[in-house]
Amino acid sequence: MATDTRELTAVHVRDLHRSFSRNGGVLNGLDLDIPAGEFVALIGRSGTGKSTLLRALAGLDRDVDGYGRIEVPDAVSVVFQDSRLLPWKRVLDNVTFGLRGSDAGERGRQALAEVGLAGRERAWPYQLSGGEQQRAALARSLVREPQLLLADEPFGALDALTRIKMHALLRKLCEAHKPAVLLVTHDVDEAIALADRVILLDHGVIHADVRVDRSPAELRAFLLDGLGVHQ
């Protein structure tokens, strides 16, 4: 019996349009497929629609004008640049917030241990460093075992060393949990280091879609050229 390839697709988008004014659209007939388990990085200049696409996939743009076909799994988690931890809840309570089941606490503790925060369950968010707050945000997302993880510049506010550590952690977590991932980033090197595939967005459509299977230097030069950055 043949396998339905649509069952292996986490994201299926066709003819997606989004607009915030009469002056033109932000997304202009975009098509996108992301297979289950694939890590995709989305890059592009400011205003090209990266975050708009992510919010559309997350179902967070209900008041925006537009149309198009969007199919995503039921289990979707989102990580933002700001960890968005609730300051009046302790770390474990943040991770398990809204999580159902009598084993929610234990699942939360396991998730915190997985991101290197074992023993910090009773800490308040303000007691964590920026990197630790993002680790907690990742734990909160992955404890729900999402089929699709959407990440909007999750490491943009971190220092260079912490970003490198978070890159390694994210890849490790994704290899363990195997969600499809769409990472929005301005950092070409981050995209190449993390993704299986890099998509370059320009004027609301996909300008380039390349697999990370060539030399990093060659791919970096190609992507920077596509962004209009001349070395």
CA distance 47 to 110: 38
pLDDT at 4 (0 to 100): 44
pLDDT of 22 reads 60
- Residue 7: the pLDDT is 56
Q: Is 83 left (phi over 0), alpha (psi -120 to 50) or beta?
A: alpha
Kindly report, residue by residue over 73-118, the tens digit of the pLDDT: 999 999 998 999 999 999 999 999 988 889 999 999 999 999 999 9
Q: What is the pLDDT of residue 2?
A: 42
Q: What is the pLDDT of residue 231?
A: 59
Q: Kindly report, residue by residue over 132-146, the tens digit of the pLDDT.
A: 999 999 999 999 999
Give the pair of three-digit tokens for residue 91: 């770390």
Could you give phi then psi for residue 211, rounded to 5 degrees?
A: -85, 150
Calpha distance 116→45 (Å, rounded): 33
- Residues in the chain, pLDDT under 50: 1-6
* Domains of the chain and CATH, by start: 5-75+145-226 (3.40.50.300), 87-144 (no CATH)
The whole-angstrom distance between residue 90's C-alpha and the CA centroid of its chain comes to: 24
